[in-house]
Chain A
Amino acid sequence: MNNRLKVLRAEKSWSQGDLAERLEVSRQSVNAIETGKYDPSLPLAFRIADVFGLAIEEIFLRD
């Protein structure tokens, strides 16, 4: 699954650590999701969407 996490994070000038802190996860998690190594669970995807004020489908895209 592709995602726009890196772009959205850059728009807010957040580091991976900044985003990880907002999501209450490790920076490894943010890095793994951004690079497509790990697809988040639905609850975490909702938290990510809430942090950016977007819908899940505006962040995560079908392959």
Chain B
Amino acid sequence: MTMATVPRNRPGLWVGLFLASAGVIAALKLTEAIDPTTAFVLFAISMILLVPMIRAMRAAGPAGVGASSAAIRYTKRIGISSALYVLGLGIAITIDRKLELSTALALAIAMLPVLPIFGMIWSMGRYLVEEQDEYLRHRAAMASLAGLGLLLGAASFWGFLETFGIVPHAQGWWAMPIWAIGMGLAQGWMSHRDRAGGES
């Protein structure tokens, strides 16, 4: 249960970059400056920022403390899953543009980005199982619940706006990034609260 360390970083920078990129892409899409496919690709690419964001949040604990070995394994798994996600998405979109797809083939290429997302979810579950530090595990569980709360709230809110014709239809794959944003913000807030507590 030795606490291996990784260098401290600036989580706020990655949070800001990710939120800014997501905001710009959403604005471009809503103003129809870019088509849905381009928005999808750009957003997929911006998801790469979630990796250093989560890594930095885990590393930036109180002074002198870095990530646990479970957190480092988690970061590696998320990094691999994210890379496979972007690769799978790129291949799926390329095939979809160039070929007339049967239902079976469409299902098969849809799985290319979906399977890595399952990998991300599995990685998060494994972190909760493998993290030996009970307070860090508690924090991760609370952050996951915060992400779930944001997702449920956002989906319900958007769903009813959509039902009454106020907003356009939103694709279901938004669930994962919204959940991850909620989790990241909660981790950031808890890290800030812990730092504010400080040593005395």
Contact = CB atoms under 8 A, between A and B. Distances in A.
A25 interface: yes
Contact of B135 (A15, A24, A33): A33
Interface size class of A (residues with CB under 8 A): 20 to 34
B61 interface: yes
A38 B198 contact: no
Interface in A1-45: 6, 15-17, 20, 24-29, 31-33, 35, 37-38, 40-41, 44
B138 interface: yes
Interface residues of B, number: 21
Contacts of B2: 24
Contacts of B172: none
B133 interface: yes
Given A17-B64, A17-B65, A31-B62, A25 B197 contact: no
B134 interface: yes
Interface of B: 1-3, 61-62, 64-65, 68, 132-136, 138-139, 193-194, 197-200
Interface of A: 6, 15-17, 20, 24-29, 31-33, 35, 37-38, 40-41, 44
